[in-house]
């Protein structure tokens, strides 16, 4: 539950604390291959778009302070703004 993870991070982080999220870009073919491989091993895999994760973070009162994207992955760094 990715939203649950963000809620828990909000609970345990001090104001100004940071969360770093590394995720595969679900629209890229290589990420789809990784998803298939992981679903075979772990059975249940969820990749979300950068937009979806950004919205989950901002809805839980995090501020995106840095982001980086490459071909099939992205990183978001967000700060707890309690």
pLDDT 10s digits, 12-36: 999 999 999 998 776 665 656 666 6
pLDDT at 30: 62
Q: How far apart are CA 20 and CA 1, in angstroms?
A: 16
This model's pTM is above 0.95: no
Considering only CA atoms, which of 27, 25, 16, 20 is closest in space to residue 5?
20
Collapsing DSSP to helix, strand or coil, 12 comes out as: helix
33-41 contact pairs (CB < 8 A, 24+):
34/72
Between 70 and 37, the more confident residue is: 70
pLDDT 10s digits, 40-53: 676 666 678 889 99
């Amino acid at each position: 539950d990715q939203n649950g993870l963000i809620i828990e991070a909000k609970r345990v982080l001090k104001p100004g604390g940071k969360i770093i999220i590394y995720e595969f870009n679900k629209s890229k073919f290589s990420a789809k291959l990784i998803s298939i491989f992981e679903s075979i091993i772990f059975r249940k895999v969820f990749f979300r778009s950068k937009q979806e994760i950004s919205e989950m973070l901002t809805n839980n009162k995090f501020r995106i302070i840095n982001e980086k994207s490459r071909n099939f992955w992205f990183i978001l760094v967000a700060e707890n703004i309690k």
